[in-house]
Amino acid sequence: MPECPVCGAEVTVTDDVVEGELLVCDDCGTELEVISVDPPKLKEAPQAEEDWGE
């Protein structure tokens, strides 16, 4: 299992997780983005709301 980059807790990912998927850490509630699936790696998702404009 990948670790939350914020609090270090293990984050459960499903077998069919895809790159770019957003997860929420159960432990600290941080939104995390899947940046790699093999092996699974997570990074903190951007917090700021972006206006994509289109």
Amino acid letter for position 47: Q
CA distance 27 to 52: 30
Instruction: Examine residue 1 and tell whether it contacts Zn ion (CB under 5 A).
Output: no
Of 1, 24, 28, 45, which one interacts with Zn ion (CB under 5 A)?
28
Residue 35 Ramachandran class (φ > 0 left, ψ -120 to 50 alpha, else beta): alpha
Rounded to a whole number of angstroms, the minimum distance from the CB of residue 52 to Zn ion is: 27
Instruction: Examine residue 25 and tell whether it contacts Zn ion (CB under 5 A).
Output: yes
Judged by the rule CB under 5 A, the positions of this chain that interact with Zn ion are 4, 6-7, 9, 25, 27-28
